[in-house]
Chain A
Amino acid sequence: MHGLAPRPLAVCVVVAVAFGVGACGKQDKNVTVGLIVKRNTNPFWVTMKDTAEQTADDDNVKLLTAAGQSDIDNRSQVAALAKMTAEGAKGIMITPADSTAIVPAIQKARAAGVTVIALDTPTDPRSAVDALYATNNEQAGELIGRYAKARAAKLGIKPKIAMLDLAPGITSGELRHQGFLKGFGITQNDPQIVGSVNTLGETGRAEDGMRKLLQKDRGINVVYTVNEPAAFGAAQALKAAGRSDDSVILVSVDGGCDAVKNGVRPGVIDATVQQYPENMARLGVDALANTARGGPKPSGYKNTGIELITRDPVSGVSSKDVAFGVRNCWG
């Protein structure tokens, strides 16, 4: 046998290169952080939790998690804050179920040396936490407002607008509403607005609300919805009224998988603004782990990004196609 026998070193080099095994560097110090979401059944919070767990796993972080029983369960969140602090969490991310009522519990945790980041929903006051990582809801509303205006112009229709809102006093809904008006280039009292209804972001209420607005003016051809469940409710009412998808511009906010696949893809929803709970979670875990390891404390507001998803793009409004929406949807 005259051939070269494969030497162990050569084999190691081949294996190392092929499998991307670099030098085994020192692993970061293990630290503990917490995540408290509103509840464990909503796909938005589930995506956030899953991403946080994956990021924690990658970053050698021990992640404590907790959730309330509903979107307004403040008591569970207060208890979770105290428990995580006692268990040695150096940082906690929280999606406040009650922006005001949670503040004293957060102050207690911060007094114990815990860094707190609010995800998705701001506290009231915002300064109650070290930082806020969230979607810019006004920007999201503005983007669909601009889209709706450009599409109406493209289709040559005279806008008659229905606005399906969240509820009075809820910041995210109000910001989206204001953003839409700004993007459409109108004010609250513009005669193009047929009317507004509060839906609590629920499909049934949105359907009822849309039906009432159609009774007021059957010619409604632009519909703003605060979220995608509301958009589906509006679509049902429009369908019941004999209106085709092509005759109405229906826009929304969220970017959940159900809405992108079954709303935007078939053209029921013309455009939606996709937000990214996974960015909130990933950035939150990274920032808290970094702080716990001696890095700087997170502060201020971090925009976690949005993209307009549509199958009918219009010039002048940046957007992504449905495939992008499906790839990056949550839920």
Chain B
Amino acid sequence: MAGESFVQPQAAGAVSSRKKARLVHPGFAVPFVLLVFCFAAWGSAANLTDVLVGVFRHIFTMSNFESALVQFAYYGAYFSLAIPAAMINRRWGYKTGVLTGLGLATLGGLLFLPASKLLEFAPFLVALFVLAAGLSILETSANPFAIAMGPEESATQRLNLAQAFNPVGANIGVLLGAVLILPNLTPEPAKVIMTEQQLHDSQEHDLNLVLGPYLGIAAALALIWLMIALRGMSTPAERVQESETATGGVFGRLWANRHYRYGVVAQFFNVGAQVCVWSFTIQYALDVVGVSTDHAGWYLQASLLLFLVSRFVMTYLLGIFRPTLLLFLLGALGVGLALTAMFAQSMVGLIAVVAISLSLSLMFPTIYGVALQGLGADTKFGAAGLVMAILGGALMPPIQGKIMDQAGTATAFIVPAVGLAFVTLYALFDLRTRRNSGPLVTEGGH
């Protein structure tokens, strides 16, 4: 997910030893560094995809709904591959999972090459699907793999360190789009007077701009694949990860738990709102405010930086305030900002769009923790359900795109507004409901 990274909750439990433990097992320094690059790589790819929504609309002169299918392909792949990825890890181990993910993602990046020659949208969707499928497997494997690379006592530290590179990669992804793609696209007015042949040539030129960063990502992933593949790795802690087994009736118990059930719904809308906001920030800047293509990408970059900074601030505040109280306040703020974007069709609206990232920064880990609180042995399966709520990122952007086509770019921000309203209601539900206490489950690096 854009800017997010999912991790199995048991990682965070093994945290609080005061003894100074090694960060990684002997001989695992280089593999761990390579794994860190993986975290950055999927962050880059995910947020470069946010830029692509607007870029494909420009290149193929397509509707917003059609261009939003980029996210449908990307997050649809993430959703579809979550269970197969877990099966690969269970059957063959994390290293195989990481290599499979890297290999598939590399293939996806390379598929941009034929896609750019065909000058059709569909091949790009296929390439994105394959890329995201690989990244889904990579992410599912890399998180527990990072845990397994060192002593249990330093698991959270290791995971936090690795995940810290995810937002770094995310920012690099947007930077690639903002610097290498957006400013170099053929200007729209120039297309107004182009002949068929000139339009064809400009499309080819613009698609080559898209190709560059993805080939770069593919090359980097292939390099990491080689370096991991050629290293002998045995991760003793992997056995620990495998030892847990599900007990019967888990789905029934989870379904009966309203905090969990509503949590999955809230997470669906949170992820959907986040992907919607980041997918259409550039379009808001272009369509509503009239920011030039050269500069539009910087507003998405600002969103991600705000998200990153406020993550740290929220981590501090979570130690002071009740998490769902903060979730409620920031959810309400997010709704207000989305409504501002709808009605203040100006720079104020664009600033509101950027500021939504502030409220988003808290949501994923908080919903994750609250929904899983007190689930005990059902936590692992519960976590999988929350991760699969990423489906919101696949389904909500096309809805927003459709509304953009019908009612305008600003009005379509009703979609993230509704998503954030659901998150706010979930926080309110938790605040007004008594529940059995249990330790709040933390979500890895968040």
Q: Which residues of B contact A324 (CB under 8 A)?
A: 188
Closest to B181 in A: A20
Task: Annotate B319-357 by CB proximity to A: 1 below 8 A, 0 otherwise.
Answer: 000000000000000000000000001000000000000
Interface residue from B176, B215, B227, B408 paired with A3 (Cβ < 8 Å) = B227
Residues of A within 8 A of B209 (CB): 20
Known: A279-B189, A303-B193, A305-B193. A19 touches B30 (CB 8 A): no
Please give the distance in Å from B173's CB to the nearest CB on chain A: 11
- Tell me the residues in window 206-241 of chain B with beta carbons closer than 8 Å to chain A beta carbons: 209, 212-213, 215-217, 219-220, 223, 226-228, 230-232
Could you tell me if B212 and A323 are in contact, using CB atoms closer than 8 angstroms? no
Q: How many residues of B contact A (CB 8 A)?
A: 37
Pairwise interchain contact B287-A326, C-beta atoms closer than 8 A: yes
C-alpha spacing A29/B146, complex, angstroms: 54
Indicate if the CB atoms of A14 and B232 lie closer than 8 Å: no
Given that A3-B231, A18-B212 are contacting pairs, would A279 and B190 also be in contact in the complex, using a CB cutoff of 8 Å? yes
Quick check: is A95 within 8 A (CB to CB) of the other chain?
Answer: no
Residues of A within 8 A of B187 (CB): 278, 282
CB pair B176 A18 closer than 8 Å:
yes
Q: Which residues of A contact B223 (CB under 8 A)?
A: 6, 10, 14
Size band of the interface chain A makes with B: 20 to 34
B302 contacts across to A, CB distance below 8 A: none
Q: Give the residue name and chain of the B residue nearest to A322 (CB).
A: B408
- CB < 8 Å neighbour of B286 from A3, A260, A279, A327: A327
A1 adjacent to B30 (CB under 8 Å)? yes
A4 touches B (CB below 8 Å):
yes
The B-contacting residues of A in range 1-38, CB under 8 angstroms, are 1-4, 6, 10, 13-15, 17-20
- Asked if residues A305 and B192 are in contact (CB atoms below 8 Å), the reply is yes
A265 within 8 Å of B (CB atoms): yes
In the assembled complex, which residues on chain A have CB atoms less than 8 Å from the CB atom of B31?
A: 3
When distances are taken between beta carbons in the complex, the residues of chain A under 8 Å from B226 are: 4
A14 and B220 contact, CB distance less than 8 A = yes
Contacting residue for A17 out of B219, B232, B293, B404, CB 8 A: B219
> How far does the alpha carbon of A260 sit from the alpha carbon of B288 in the complex, in Å?
10
> B409 on the interface (CB 8 Å rule)?
yes
A 224-239 binary contact with B (CB < 8 Å = 1; else 0): 0000000000000000
| Bound complex: CA A278 to CA B31 (Å) | 52
The residue of chain B having its C-beta at the shortest distance from the C-beta of A275 within the complex is B189
Q: Which residues of A contact B288 (CB under 8 A)?
A: 323, 326
B188: which A residues are within 8 A, CB to CB?
324, 327-328
Do A17 and B189 touch across chains, with their CB atoms under 8 A apart? no
Chain A contacts of B289 at CB under 8 A?
A: 326
- The interface residues of chain B lying within 8 Å CB-to-CB of A326 are 286-290
Q: Does B425 contact A (CB under 8 A)?
A: no
A53-77 interface (Cβ within 8 A of B): none
Residue pair A323, B189 in contact (C-beta under 8 Å): no
B180 sits at the interface (CB 8 A): yes
Contact A20 B180, beta carbon cutoff 8 Å: yes
Contact A3 B216 (CB under 8 A): no
Contacts of B30 in A (CB 8 A): 1, 3
Bound Cα distance from A304 to B187, whole angstroms: 13
In the assembly, what is the distance between CA of A20 and CA of B217, in Å?
Answer: 12
A276 contacts B by Cβ under 8 Å: yes
Pair B227/A4 contact, Cβ less than 8 Å: yes
Contacts of B409 in A (CB 8 A): 323
Provide the residues of chain B in CB contact with A10, threshold 8 Å. 219, 223
Nearest CB in chain B: distance from A21 CB, A:
9
The CA of A105 and the CA of B409, in the complex, are separated in Å by 49
Say how far B56's CB is from chain A's closest CB, in angstroms. 15
| Closest chain A CB from B389 CB (angstroms) | 31
In whole angstroms, how far apart are the Cα atoms of A324 and B212 in the complex? Answer: 27
The reply to whether the CB of A307 lies closer than 8 angstroms to some CB of chain B is yes
A18 touching B213, Cβ below 8 Å: yes
Q: Contacts A4-B230, A305-B192 known; A20 to B212 CB distance under 8 Å?
A: yes
Within 8 A of A (CB), among B175-191: 176, 180, 187-190
From B289, which residue of chain A is reached at the shortest CB distance? A326
A183 to chain B, nearest CB (A): 19
Which B residues are CB-close (under 8 A) to A110? none
- State the Cβ distance, B284 to closest chain A Cβ, in Å: 10
Query: Within the complex, what minimum Cβ distance (angstroms) separates A4 from chain B?
Result: 5
Q: Which residues on the B side are within 8 Å of A257 (C-beta)?
A: 290
Interface residue ranges, A against B (CB under 8 Å): 1-4, 6, 10, 13-15, 17-20, 257, 260-261, 265, 276, 278-279, 282, 303-307, 322-324, 326-329
A-B contact pairs, 27 of them (CB 8 A): A2-B231, A2-B232, A3-B30, A3-B31, A3-B34, A3-B230, A6-B227, A14-B220, A17-B212, A18-B176, A20-B180, A20-B209, A20-B213, A257-B290, A276-B192, A278-B187, A278-B189, A279-B192, A282-B187, A303-B193, A304-B193, A305-B189, A322-B287, A323-B283, A323-B404, A327-B286, A329-B290
| 20 more CB-based (< 8 A) A-B contacts, given A14-B223, A18-B219 | A2-B231, A2-B232, A3-B34, A4-B226, A10-B219, A17-B212, A17-B215, A17-B219, A18-B176, A18-B217, A257-B290, A279-B190, A305-B189, A307-B192, A323-B286, A323-B287, A326-B287, A327-B290, A327-B293, A328-B189
Residues of B within 8 A of A (CB): 30-31, 34, 176, 180, 187-190, 192-193, 209, 212-213, 215-217, 219-220, 223, 226-228, 230-232, 283, 286-290, 293, 345, 404, 408-409
